[in-house]
Structure 1
Amino acid sequence: MKSKVLGSTLIIAGTTIGAGMLALPIASAGIGFGTSILLMFALWALMAYTALLMIELHQYADHSATLHTLAKQILGDKGKYIASFAMLFLFYALCAAYIAGGGGQFADRLEMVFGVSLSPTLATLIFTLIVALTVTIGTHAVDKLNRVLFTLKLIAMGSVLFLLAPNVTQGYLTSLPMQQGLIVAAIPVVFTSFGFHGSIPAIVNYLEATPKHFAKPSLLAQAFRS
């Protein structure tokens, strides 16, 4: 169980900071360090609170419940359709972004490492099939693969921070460019970077969680409310 908890934690962390590692620096570059920190902290708190509310709902449902069944149980048929449409719309947007970006990266790596040149369409199709097959096998396979990828991600991020650290100056940290409209453009990027809620039902099912497993999250949710 402890191994599953660790793997589930890494899945949530990987979902949260996956695309955000690239998107957040670009989105926040024009609004300054201090404003970026405040914006990210505020949206993290919002997304963490809503995630805890989802965990609360899972206390009153079977561990295999999906977002669809949770919405039907709590909100009824009308709420079920609204919630399902909203989640499908979000998942479509996220999948389109990941497939487009991942397919391009996959093609570049194939050509760089193996000297194989593929068309963007074919590379994107192969990338999508590989990811789809991994996900289809089950959460356990995703867990194992994610542990390897997350470790590599941490190594890469640590290396980048080590190389960039000498270039960090007080002037960069205290400057507030606040170019017109950039803070508005940064909000949806930061918001989606902390969006891991679609993974919660799969994680609960993977852990075969029961109400006693939600005791600590419940206390945290009460703390947020107070």
Structure 2
Amino acid sequence: MKSKLFSAVAIYTGTVVGAGIFGIPYVIAKIGFIPGVIYLVVLGTIVTIKMLCYGEVVSRTKEFHQTTGYAEKYLGKWGKYAISFSLFFGLYGSLLAYMIGVGDFLYTILGDMLGGTPMLYSLLFFVLASLAILAGLGMIIRVEKVMFIALFIVISLFFVFGGKHIDLENLRTFDFSHAFLPYGVLFFAFTGLSAIPDMSRMLKKEKHNFKKALLIGTVTVFFIYLCFTFIIVGISGAGTSPEAVVGLVGLLGKKIVIVGSVFGVLAMATSFLTLGLAMKEIYRYDYGLDKTLGWVLTCFVPLIIFLLGLVSFIGVLGAVGSVTGGISGIMILWMYLRAKKKGDQEPAYVIKVPKPVIYILSVIFALGALYEVYYLFVT
């Protein structure tokens, strides 16, 4: 029988590598490449622990849910409502960010030839992606596998075109006055909770591969981010633009920016598809809604917000990364502790996270969320 390990890793990587990757070079350029890499390692490790804890929760539960359902099972009604707020805000915000980002990148690629506006390309993407979400997991798995391979091809081309322009002096700067800037963007960039239940379902006959798929996925994501950041910061240094790629036009010309924009479309499109499927399943499995109604609520709420123009791309990344990631992080750690005692089946794997580590991580998540709220509404 053909192993589904690669498909599971592709689902995870496609979900995680989205809009956040394009904010990473900017925030790391602000504090310096070396401290930025340390930030990547530390936050990547924290998120990996969070993902493995959630994977064990999923694996210990017979009935299929998305995150809200697991929260209700192990934390009660209050847990479901609290994490529902966090997840709905985060998922809708992410879908909105991907719509905006894909439209901008498609305009960069096609605007000179076909004309139009970023908004028009966002709407075109929305039509195609929403139909894929309606079709369900089977189609999305096929799309994810193709895009997973394409991501590596595009980032390799980026190395070929941009590598000779890297200036190592750009990688030797330090500026700790921006020490907290990367937190929200990196948190957003590493988070992909919604993929884990689908990975578990995909690997139900290969349970021994579940933990392996999570670890391979997180390591793959880390190296994609490291390579991408090395190239962008190495080329543009302190002049790195917030969206990373577009700011390279003056340094590398239009062709390299188009390559980067193709990468942007692939990364955000894969994440939009998997997150959209996860939200549709929340409505179906955790709230008992009809499949079609769940699809309408999933796709058309961010579309309406997009058409109203109420949210900015950068604002979404910061809020979703720190606030939503922090709340869901705390609750998943406590779900993990409860599932150890109340799970109703043997898990595919077991990890041992000491309670002091749970407490420390909970404090980190809480402080990060509070800082983001303070930054958004007070400063």
Given that 2:100 and 2:119 are in contact with CA atoms closer than 8 Å, whether structure 1 keeps it comes out as no
- What is the distance in 2 between the residues matched to 1:35 and 1:25? 12
Structure 2 residue runs of 5 or longer lacking an equivalent are 213-347, 358-379
Tell me the CA shift for residue 166 of structure 1: 3.3
Given that 2:7 and 2:141 are in contact with CA atoms closer than 8 Å, whether structure 1 keeps it comes out as yes
Given that 2:10 and 2:148 are in contact with CA atoms closer than 8 Å, whether structure 1 keeps it comes out as yes
- For residues 164-187 of structure 1, what are the alpha-carbon distances to aligned partners after superposition, in whole Å with 9 as ceiling and x for unaligned? 333445433332133x3x332211
- For residues 96-144 of structure 1, what are the alpha-carbon distances to aligned partners after superposition, in whole Å with 9 as ceiling and x for unaligned? 11111112223443434xx333344433222112111112212221121
Alignment of 1:32-51 (within 5 A): 32-51=32-51
Shift in alpha-carbon separation, 1:18–1:160, aligned structure 2, 3 A: same
Shift in alpha-carbon separation, 1:25–1:75, aligned structure 2, 3 A: same
Query: What is the TM-score normalised by the length of structure 2?
Result: 0.53
Matched, 1:218 2:349: yes
Matched, 1:141 2:134: no
Q: Which residue is 2:128 aligned to?
A: 130
- What is the distance in 1 between the residues matched to 2:116 and 2:204? 42
Q: Which residue is 1:199 aligned to?
A: 195
Tell me the CA shift for residue 204 of structure 1: 2.0
Given that 1:64 and 1:204 are in contact with CA atoms closer than 8 Å, whether structure 2 keeps it comes out as no
Matched, 1:188 2:194: no
Match of 2:179, SS state, is: helix
**Partner letter of residue 159 of structure 2?**
L
- What is the distance in 2 between the residues matched to 1:135 and 1:209? 25
Shift in alpha-carbon separation, 1:145–1:71, aligned structure 2, 3 A: same
- For residues 82-107 of structure 1, what are the alpha-carbon distances to aligned partners after superposition, in whole Å with 9 as ceiling and x for unaligned? 01111111112211111111122234
Given that 1:34 and 1:174 are in contact with CA atoms closer than 8 Å, whether structure 2 keeps it comes out as yes
- What is the distance in 1 between the residues matched to 2:5 and 2:133? 18
- What is the distance in 1 between the residues matched to 2:202 and 2:80? 23
User: Which stretch of the first structure deviates more once superposed, 195-204 or 156-165?
Assistant: 156-165
Q: Which structure is richer in relative contact order (CA contacts within 8 A, separation 6 or more)?
A: 1
Structure 1 residue runs of 5 or longer lacking an equivalent are none
Shift in alpha-carbon separation, 1:209–1:73, aligned structure 2, 3 A: farther
Q: Which residue is 1:27 aligned to?
A: 27
Q: Give the total of aligned pairs.
A: 220
Match of 1:184, SS state, is: coil
